[in-house]
Chain A
Amino acid sequence: MSNSNAPGAILRRTFAALSFLAAGTAFAQSTLLNVSYDVSRELYKEINPAFVAAWKKQGGADITVNQSHGGSSKQAGSVIGGLEADVITMNQSPDIDILVERGGLVAANWRKQFPHDATPYTTTTVFLVRKGNPKNIKDWDDLVKPGYQVIVPNPKTSGNGRYTYIAAWGFALDKTGSEAGAKDFVTRLFANVPVLDGGGRGATTTFTQRDVGDVLVTFENEAILIAQELGSSKFDIVYPSLSIEAAAPVAVVQKVAAKRGTEKVAKAYLDFLYTPAGQEIIAKHDFRPRDPAVLKKHAAKYPNIRTFTVEQKLGGWAAVQKAHFADGALYDQIVARK
């Protein structure tokens, strides 16, 4: 099947040519490529030098860590197409599972290779409202009221949007006690969405720069970043009564690492994310660290919020994919409101 895959083959060749160029420039020293999602750029920019220093201290050879960022599904697609990533760091598990399915690039038991199901940090979905909360938005209930405009990125293409969808679904499931009730609730929520951006950053721009919408539903780290960058005089963060635990999964791209002889350093790189030093950098970038000590130290930044995981309420990602986001599944039915 994969041999008759002509566009894939062309892609692969293109990437092979590109990586050949990259290899040419970094001839003498070894490199590690971390393929990641869109908004983790700043985090890994700081993780990388810290890791290189720690690695050398342990007696490792000189190494350069390169990073590549983009929409997470697009990035996973590039790795399938032949982009030689040694490690992959995403914001939702399906984007790593696909690498297991297509070509066995990642080991099937990748969740077992690192602590916490291979998720070194989490974040959660929160609300960002305009200063003073003029529409008095407190919880998910408020987002489905007529006349309220909610900004969410497209759940089909964005992990951020998908977590929002799942969080709302989980909330409604608890509240109404039925699938039908949850479907109705989420339908009303998406009827209040005036713009669907392709990714989380796009939604941020629509809400903050274009002045569209009463509330932006996004990741906590993104909300904190917006509040900091644009001054807390313009926006307030609101924590709903229940939300989703969005755990960011990481994995070694086994096939590539084996070929390039980078297995050891790739594993060390991901292990570093779990060390106190790594967790500290993670906390600095407003993600919730797994290390209880580090989390406690920054507790002021992370208000308590009741969360659930995809596994707890919706039976895992594979089930969510099938029941909600496949062609003609629940999400398609929800947006087909006309």
Chain B
Amino acid sequence: MTATRTFRVLPGFNLTLGYTLGYLSLLILIPLSAVFLKTFEMDWARFVEVVTAPQVVATYKLSFGASLLAAAINAVFGLMLAWALVRYSFPGKKIVDALVDLPFALPTAVAGIALTALYAKNGWLGQYLEPLGIKVAFTPLGVLVALVFIGLPFVVRTVQPILEDLDTELEEAAASLGAQRWQTFRHVIFPILLPALMTGFALAFARAVGEYGSVIFIAGNLPFVSEITPLMIITKLEQYDYQGATAIASVMLIFSFILLLIINGLQAWTAKRTGRDR
């Protein structure tokens, strides 16, 4: 509240800020603080014991590892998909475009059942993969497949609008100045896309970390092999161990929050570096 007040086109800053904070508290902060409050019912020693149990630690590795990998795969292939959808016209393009959103709309349990049926050893794909020694259903690889599936739309939909806004003249200019195709991509297009790509990556990652419905069907859920952290939480809940469940949930929340902060920080840094700072 210093002397320099910037002029705003629309009045009501206080109202909107109050509304934003109130709404965020109601929807996000209050439920999340309930998680932490429940956790505080247990003492520190017990908390450490629960969240560092070897079986639980194994689930962190799988959940965060598979989620990062899935988000990375989606970043690469989602970018290619977005590129194809923006730059080329081909028959059925509208349908392909709509298909991208399907993982959003599909109940995750349905996705899980469909993927499991597909990759089980008697499934359409599984019957060919199994003889090659590649097991997907009921292995950690299955977890990855499910996470890639549900995360795909996030990357495509964040990169697509930026690509659409991208002037082809920039590329022509690069070409006329003697840039190779790779150089044009590397030095002209990619830096512009990078912030959006990272947002898509972060969203896909966040979604994957929290995913439960599709994964439990395909994972096999073996302790130390293919258990994800959300399953650990549900297992605790079903044993009436509410504190244990919220303890693991808070560790997950803190991990995710830190990772998302890092990604957002990186994104802001690249945006600044490439001169697209808002």
A→B interface (CB under 8 Å): 4-8, 10, 71, 73-74, 76-77, 80, 98, 102, 154, 156-157, 193-198, 206, 209-212, 325, 327-328, 332, 335-338
Q: Does B84 contact A (CB under 8 A)?
A: no
Q: Are B53 and A77 in contact (CB under 8 A)?
A: no
Give Cα A111 to B117, complex, Å: 43
Chain A, Cβ-Cβ closest to B221: A196
Contact flags B202-216 to A (C-beta < 8 A → 1, else 0): 000000000000001
Please give the number of chain B residues whose Cβ is less than 8 angstroms from any Cβ of chain A in the complex.
35
Tell me the nearest residue of chain A to B58, going by C-beta.
A338
Q: Please list the residues of chain B having a beta carbon within 8 angstroms of any beta carbon in chain A.
A: 31, 34-35, 37-38, 41, 50, 53-55, 116-117, 120-123, 137-138, 216, 220-225, 234-235, 237-242, 244, 246
Q: By the criterion CB–CB under 8 Å, are A7 and B238 in contact? A: no
Partner of A196, one of B34, B137, B220: B220
- Give every chain A residue within 8 A of B220 (Cβ-Cβ): 194-196
B70 to A: closest C-beta gap in Å: 21
> B53 contacts which chain A residues (CB < 8 A)?
327-328
Return chain B residues, CB-CB under 8 Å to A197. 221
Contact partner, A10, options B34, B117, B234, B235, Cβ 8 Å: B34
- Chain A residues with Cβ below 8 Å from B122 are 210-211
Alpha-carbon distance between A210 and B240 when the two chains are bound, in angstroms? 31
Nearest-neighbour CB distance to chain B for A96, whole angstroms, equals: 12
Interchain Cβ contacts under 8 Å between A and B, 18 examples: A4-B37, A6-B37, A7-B242, A73-B239, A77-B237, A156-B235, A156-B238, A195-B220, A197-B221, A210-B120, A210-B121, A211-B122, A327-B244, A328-B53, A332-B55, A335-B223, A337-B224, A338-B224
A76 and B239 alpha carbons, distance in the complex (Å): 10
Query: Which of A10, A157, A193, A328 has the most CB atoms of chain B within a 10 A radius of its CB?
Result: A157
Least CB distance, A99 to chain B, in whole angstroms: 10
Q: Chain A residues near B41 (CB, 8 Å)? A: 4
Extra contacts besides A210-B117, A211-B120, A211-B122 (16): CB < 8 Å: A5-B242, A6-B38, A10-B31, A73-B238, A76-B240, A77-B240, A157-B234, A194-B220, A196-B221, A196-B222, A206-B138, A211-B121, A327-B53, A332-B55, A336-B55, A337-B224
* Inter-chain contact A195/B138, CB cutoff 8 Å: yes
Q: Are B237 and A195 in contact (CB under 8 A)?
A: no
Q: Find A5's partner among B31, B38, B54, B225 (CB 8 Å cutoff).
A: B38
Known: A7-B35, A209-B117, A210-B121. A335 touches B55 (CB 8 A): yes
Main secondary structure of the interface of A (DSSP, over half): loop
Nearest residue (CB) in B for A80 is B240
| A328 vs B239: C-alpha distance when bound (angstroms) | 14
Selected contact of B239 from candidates A7, A10, A209, A325, CB within 8 Å? A325
Q: How far is the CA of A80 from the CA of B234 in the complex (A)?
A: 16
Residues on the A chain within 8 Å of B117, using CB: 209-210
Find the B residue at minimum CB distance from A337. B224
Top 3 A-B residue pairs of the complex, sorted by shortest distance between their CB atoms: A210-B120, A6-B34, A335-B223
A154-B235 in contact (CB<8A)? yes
Specify which of B31, B38, B138, B241 is in contact with A212 (CB 8 Å cutoff).
B138
Contacting pair B54 A327 (CB below 8 A): no
Docked CA distance A105–B92 (Å): 59
Determine which of A74, A209, A212, A335 lies in contact with B224 in the assembled complex, contact meaning CB atoms within 8 Å: A335
Q: How far is the CB of A157 from chain B (nearest CB, A)?
A: 5
Q: How far is the CA of A327 from the CA of B244 in the complex (A)?
A: 10
* B141 nearest CB across to chain A (Å): 14
Assembly CA distance A8 to B35 (angstroms): 11
Interface centre among A77, A210, A332 (most CB of B within 10 A): A210
Q: How far is the CB of A222 from chain B (nearest CB, A)?
A: 19
Q: Smallest distance from the beta carbon of A160 to chain B beta carbons, Å?
A: 13
Residue of B nearest to A7 (CB): B34
Closest chain B CB from A205 CB (angstroms): 8
Bound CA span A267–B38, Å? 36
Minimal Cβ-Cβ distance residue in B for A198: B216
Which residues of the partner chain B approach A77 to less than 8 Å between Cβ atoms?
Answer: 237-238, 240
Q: Which of A71, A195, A197, A332 has the most CB of B within 10 A?
A: A195
Q: Is the CB of B222 within 8 A of A336?
A: no
Residues of chain A with a CB closer than 8 A to B37's CB: 4, 6
Judging by beta carbons under 8 Å apart, are A336 and B224 in contact? yes
Complex Cα gap A71–B238 (Å): 9
Cα of A195 to Cα of B35 in the assembled complex, Å: 30
Least Cβ distance of A92 to chain B in Å?
12
Bound together, the chains give a CA A175 to CA B241 distance in angstroms of: 34
**Contact A327 B240, beta carbon cutoff 8 Å:** no
Contact partner of A336 among B50, B123, B223, B241, CB < 8 A?
A: B223
Rounded to whole angstroms, the CA-CA distance of A172 and B244 in the bound complex is 32
Instruction: Determine the residue in chain A with the shortest Cβ distance to B36.
Output: A6
Query: How distant is the Cα of A74 from the Cα of B237 in the complex, in angstroms?
Result: 8
In the assembled complex, the Cα of A71 lies from the Cα of B240 at a distance in Å of: 13
A80 / chain B contacts, CB cutoff of 8 Å: 240
Question: Which chain A residue has the least Cβ–Cβ distance from B113?
Answer: A205
Nearest CB on A from B170, distance (A): 51
Q: Of residues B31, B222, B235, B241, which shows the largest number of chain A Cβ atoms within 10 Å of its Cβ?
A: B222
Q: Does B38 lie within 8 Å of A195, measured CB to CB?
A: no
Residues of A within 8 A of B223 (CB): 196, 335-336
Which residues of chain B are near A196, meaning CB under 8 Å? 220-223
Complex CA–CA separation, A338 to B41 (angstroms): 32
A59 to B116 Cα, complex, angstroms: 53
Residues on B with beta carbons closer than 8 Å to the beta carbon of A154: 221, 235
Contact A7 B235, beta carbon cutoff 8 Å: no
